[in-house]
Amino acid sequence: MYKAIIIDDELPARRAIRALGEWELYGIEIAAEADNGKEGLVLLEAEEPDLVFVDMKMPLMGGVEFLDKARATYPEACYIVISGFDDFTYARSAMQAGSVDYLLKPIRKADLNAAVGRAIEIIAERRNRLLSESRSQIYRNLSAPLVKEKIYSSIIDKSGRFHHIDELRAVLDTEALSSLCRVVVFKLLNAEDVIELRFKNDSHAFYYALTNAVDELFSRFGKTFSFKNNRDDSEIVAVIKLSDPNHPQRMVIDELSAQLTSVFGIQLVSEEGPDVTMERLGESYDAALRSLMELNMISLRPASSSQQKEPDEGRRSFLERARLFSQPIESGSERQAIHELRKWLEELEAAGAITMSGMLAIEVELRMFAETLLARFKMDEQETADYIGLFDRTLRRRVYEFTVFKAAVLDYFEPFFTVLAETGRSGENASTAEKIKAYIELHYDEELPVSFFAERYHMSKEHLARLFKQKYDIGIHEYQLQIRMGKAKEWLSDKSLKIQTVSERVGFRDQNYFSKAFKKYTGLTPQEFRGKMES
């Protein structure tokens, strides 16, 4: 739909325009009329029309003056001049002032509608062009960060040479291509906890907020673009186009990292690379990453250069000590295996230094050890997948402050050793009841009806429930509830966790249902239990 106004001091002329125009055909609404140029300017501002009919000779303000002012304010409108003067000078003035047509009085229907048709074509073309430009701009706004991320990622991971230069020009100012840049790499140590507790498991919102905060904090040094490394969810990479080439060699990244910790509750470590040109960003990234890999994960500071030997030098491979853990398990003594594991972790901590690269190497060895044990005890394919999947979710390629790492290792291996020892005590394979018990201990937050295990182990529900009851003197459902409530008590003692969060962690999606179940089991509501713990 289009909107038009008529500006003419002659009422018969205004009526003629209204009567002769095929307005419905062209989708035009005559919104208002004025009888002089001054009033016409007021209407123009109020109505913002697409099409304006204006007389050349009017009192107070004539057509030429009106067009000059109107075009300066509303250049996107189309102006059709209607005049009683068949004079070339008037027509030229009108055209120079920006009108798209010049019609003579008395107005003929054919001439009017032909002029209206031409004007509508111009208006429609302008609208389509603006729409296209708007869509293109929206696309550029949406795609530019993705293109930047793709280009920067290809440079730092060396997945291709700098053949994206044309794409880069499209999203960066040309000056940036020759400017000095610096890369800062952040390793996030507790991202999953922050995503769960502060962002309600919305990882996209977390990374969006964090990268925007990094961009803003580092903008003091120059235009910054940061992104999550697609190969590592715990790594944020910031590329800074330095605004001052004489900037000090080292930024105050510890101070800025502390601000991120304060705002998001995220624990992180960070290092920066040297200043480089855009095509050598990979070198700055590699240098920053090497510095991070040398970080002491006990103190979260660079390993001391005054040490006589490298922090990880002389550390025996975990696999060299594997028999200290595997032999007690094979003999059914999981307590001895757990004791040896704790002792080994304490020895690592007492040494005072273990680098990030050393921690990642230990994780590889631990995973290999777990795979070896699963094969030795002939665990079935599904059980093996479950245990290795749990390891990968909690330990594989993850970096932690060492006390958290130690706790994560023990949380994984203590129940794992227990299940394996029970397997050894009962023969080559664990009984079905023991397998169910171990599965519940790993997956207590899931819905586990007896029918699930009956299908898994190809037994009737009744027979399976009887086997479990005979073995442990408790039903399958009751045992899962016992595990859930034990975990709930443990987490309720942490006042920083909301009751809804505790509820979800132990498998209850409805907090009210959880509260009723907890009270039925313990005699106290979660709030009462937490209050009793504090008193």
- The DSSP code sequence of 113-131 is HHHHHHHHHHHHHHHHHHH
CATH of domain 173-296: 3.30.70.270
399 with 297: CB under 8 angstroms? yes
**Banded model confidence at residue 76, pLDDT cuts 50, 70, 90:** confident
pLDDT mean over 249-264: 83
Q: What's the average model confidence in pLDDT over 239-264?
A: 81
Whether cis (ω within 30° of 0) applies to the bond prior to 106 is yes
Which of 24-33, 248-257, 262-271, 494-503 has the least mean pLDDT?
Answer: 248-257
| pLDDT of residue 463 exceeding 60 | yes
Per the CB < 8 A criterion, the answer to whether 6 and 112 are in contact is no
**Would you state the structure tokens that stand for residue 135, as one six-digit string?**
């869509």
C-alpha atoms less than 13 angstroms from C-alpha of 67 in its C-beta half-sphere: 29
Q: To the nearest whole number, what is the mean pLDDT of the chain?
A: 85
CATH 1.10.10.60 residue ranges in the chain?
Answer: 313-533
Residue 161: the pLDDT is: 46
Name the phi and psi angles at 316, rounded to 5.
Answer: -70, 145
Joined together, the tokens standing for residue 6 give 């008529």
> Pairing relation of β-strands 181-188 and 101-104?
unpaired
Question: How sure is the predictor about 179, in pLDDT bands with cuts at 50, 70 and 90?
Answer: confident
CATH class of this structure's domain 313-533: mainly alpha
One-letter amino acid at 16 equals A
Query: Across-strand partners of 54?
Result: 7, 81
d(CA 245, CA 238): 18
The C-alpha atoms of residue 220 and residue 243 are separated, in whole angstroms, by 8
Computed from CA positions of residues 386, 387, 389, 390, in that sequence, does the dihedral angle turn out positive or negative?
positive
What one-character DSSP code corresponds to residue 280?
A: G
Check whether 144 has a pLDDT greater than 70: no
For residue 345 the two structure tokens come to 């972790």
| Cα torsion 430, 431, 434, 436: sign | positive
- DSSP 3-state of 454: helix
9 vs 499: CA distance, rounded Å: 75
In eight-state DSSP terms, residue 76 is: T
- Per-residue pLDDT, averaged over 480-498, amounts to 91
pLDDT tens-digit readout, 380-421: 888 899 999 999 988 988 888 999 999 999 999 999 998 888
Where residue 280 falls among pLDDT bands split at 50, 70, 90?
Answer: confident
The model's pLDDT over 333-374, given as tens digits with 9 standing for 90+, comes to 888 999 999 999 999 999 888 999 999 999 999 999 999 999
For residues 468 and 372, what is the distance between their CA atoms, to the nearest angstrom? 28
The pLDDT-based confidence of 327 (bands split at 50, 70, 90) is: confident
CATH assignment of 2-129, among 3.50.7.10, 3.40.190.10, 3.40.50.2300, 3.20.20.70: 3.40.50.2300
Residue 156 phi/psi, 5-degree rounding, is: -75, -30
Phi and psi (nearest 5°) for 474? Answer: -155, 150
Residues 152-160, mean pLDDT to the nearest whole number: 70
Backbone angles phi, psi at 431, to 5 degrees: -65, 160
Model confidence at 97, pLDDT cuts 50, 70, 90, reads: low
Residue 301 has pLDDT above 90, yes or no: no
β-strand pairing of 295-296 with 235-242: unpaired
CB 197 within 8 A of CB 206: no
